[in-house]
Amino acid sequence: MSVYDETERASHELALAECEGMEVIAYAILKLSYAAESIASAIRALGNADAATPMGAIEAYGSVMKDGMGAIADAIRETKQ
């Protein structure tokens, strides 16, 4: 769940959209923070079958590497026989 709900986010955007000067910088920073929050949320969801685990993507990569290395080892064993 995001830090801001959609209603609160929309009210901030409406209030800042009409601003000038330094307020425009504040608006840009607010938009960047929403983007960073979305990126962080997507990274958290990198898991096995979209499981929100911190190590999910690494675990999936490790599993693929293990299978690939096993296939290489099997091929080496076959050539030695």
Residue 61, pLDDT > 80, answer no
Residue 63's alpha-carbon distances to 2, 19, 42, 67, in angstroms, are: 31, 51, 21, 6
Residue 79, pLDDT > 80, answer yes
What tens digit of pLDDT does each residue of 1-20 get? 455 567 777 776 777 667 77
Q: What is the pLDDT of residue 60?
A: 72
What tens digit of pLDDT does each residue of 28-51 get? 788 888 888 888 777 766 655 656
- Distance (Å, rounded) from C-alpha 40 to C-alpha 80? 48
Contact predicate 19/8, CB 8 Å:
no
